[in-house]
Amino acid sequence: MFPEFTLRYARLPEHFFLRFDPVPVKAPRLVAFNRPLAEELGFDLDAFDADQAAEWFSGNAVPQGAEPVAQAYAGHQFGHFNPRLGDGRAVLLGEVVDRAGRLRDIQLKGAGMTPFSRGADGRAPLGPVLREYLVSEAMHVMGVPTTRALAAVTTGERVFRRVPEPGAVLTRVATSHLRVGTFQYFAARDDVEAVRTLAEMAIERHYPELAEVDEGERYLALVEAVAARQARLVARWMGLGFIHGVMNTDNCSIAGETIDYGPCAFMEAYDPATVFSSIDEGGRYAYRNQPWIAQWNLARLAETLIPLIDDDQERAVARATELIKRYEPLYEAEWLAVMREKLGLATEEEGDRALVDAFLEAMQAGRADFTLAFRRLGEAVEEDAPALLERFESDEGLRAWLPRWRERLAREDAGPAAIAERMRAVNPLYIPRNHRVEEALAAAAEDDFAPFETLREVLADPFTEQPGREAYAQPAPPTEAVFRTFCGT
């Protein structure tokens, strides 16, 4: 049933990883499986057998052709550099060529202690595994580049965080697991040839259009290409109110995918200063900081490539610095494109930026739910809709803004119905609301997977009204609101 492996990472020189077999678990049980993704990856689903799948996706059996490795990487965590992180609880089984001809990594997360574990247990609790499953798949459906979740298995063992929890393993699929931190690992060891190898792998796998660029330009071009993907990615997060929570350089993907769903959460009442993660005390990774943290991470990537950019170090630094500055307008353009779509604008006008800002200000003043404010705005294209107004605790700002917006809409080529329709296609009704996610995880910890399954179903179709599922669109009631998320992953 497993597709054939086309090993790439495990064929790099030995100092890129440590060979490491997953540590077997006591009683693996498959609790979630992503059939459409499995199909996409080339699994033979006619031969699907849940017991066999539980063996593979727990790491108890290594599928034929896989050569499990723990990848080496470093990273800046909350601004502090750690030269040796690496896969402390993940193993890359290998790469497969999917049905579209793209190379995809298949990784087990929670597969046991590796030489990179640094004293931690190498395991993952069920809660964070299911959270990553739900949120990453929701992000994918909402059009955000992301790693995917192929399977979740419970291990029959307990892991100890704040309290004992059921253990689990997540099978994660990524376009690759190359991170800014992977480059940093080798740069910190002055291993320029290894950095070059990584850069070439990144170009081949993710930026084949750069293959022909000559030596003198290609590494700077790589940074520029990664910057473009990151700008696009973070703009999409911002458009959904998504807060990643741990934008460390080891969680910054070279392929431009969202990776590592830890204390991530979606903002409800709009406030750009929102932070959820309990470990983010200084608010470094607050909602509004995300675009600039991505830029900071890109600067760390550029630093690793300095020796390859130009023999003259000063000139290399100057060129890289100039390029990193160019991320700002790039990001602004991506963000404005996302926001225009959310407001139903398909054309571009000078004043659009101010129009977007004014709506966000009204939303903040009115403590409106970010997701529902945009969704209900689509019902107010022609006249004030109660469903929109009731989202705002105070609506003076909104009422002043609406005529301005409608005046702008009148200059669009589409009529009100068409505008409303395209707004529904980009402003989700259902997002993984924190309290719903928590509720599903709590039930699963008691071996009741029904809430998880229901939430998975709801999130699979986020742009369409689902009769009977109205409650899933609602923000948390005050008693259930989540203001803090815990890493404890």
Token duo for residue 2: 């497993």
Spatial separation of the C-alpha atoms in residues 277 and 264, rounded to whole Å: 7
Catalytic residue among 105, 250, 260, 395: 250
Between CA 320 and CA 327, with CA 321 as vertex, the angle to 5 degrees is 95
Count of residues interacting with ligand AMP (CB under 6 A): 17
The alpha carbons of the chain give a radius of gyration, in whole angstroms, of 23
Choice from 155, 176, 289, 489 touching ligand AMP (CB under 6 A): 489
* Cβ nearer to ligand AMP, comparing 36 with 79: 79
Q: Catalytic residue at 310? A: no
Q: CB of 291: closest distance to ligand AMP in angstroms? A: 20
Asked whether position 117 contacts ligand AMP by CB under 6 A, the answer is yes
Spatial separation of the C-alpha atoms in residues 89 and 125, rounded to whole Å: 12
Spatial separation of the C-alpha atoms in residues 266 and 482, rounded to whole Å: 10
Choice from 42, 65, 88, 488 touching ligand AMP (CB under 6 A): 88
Spatial separation of the C-alpha atoms in residues 472 and 347, rounded to whole Å: 33
Spatial separation of the C-alpha atoms in residues 460 and 430, rounded to whole Å: 9
Choice from 22, 63, 122, 263 touching ligand AMP (CB under 6 A): 122
Asked whether position 68 contacts ligand AMP by CB under 6 A, the answer is no
Asked whether position 89 contacts ligand AMP by CB under 6 A, the answer is yes
- SS3 call for 104: strand
* Cβ nearer to ligand AMP, comparing 124 with 225: 124
User: Would you give the binding string for ligand AMP spanning residues 221-250, x where CB under 6 A is met?
Assistant: -------------------------x---x
**CB atoms < 10 A from the CB of 228, how many?**
17
* Cβ nearer to ligand AMP, comparing 87 with 303: 87
CB-based contacts of 441, cutoff 8 Å, min separation 6: 126, 127, 130, 131, 452
DSSP 26: S
Q: CB of 120: closest distance to ligand AMP in angstroms? A: 3
Q: CB of 277: closest distance to ligand AMP in angstroms? A: 11
Asked whether position 123 contacts ligand AMP by CB under 6 A, the answer is yes
Secondary element (H or E) of residue 179:
none
Asked whether position 263 contacts ligand AMP by CB under 6 A, the answer is no
Residues catalogued as catalytic: 250
Q: Which residues bind ligand AMP (CB under 6 A)?
A: 85-89, 116-117, 120-123, 246, 250-251, 260, 262, 489
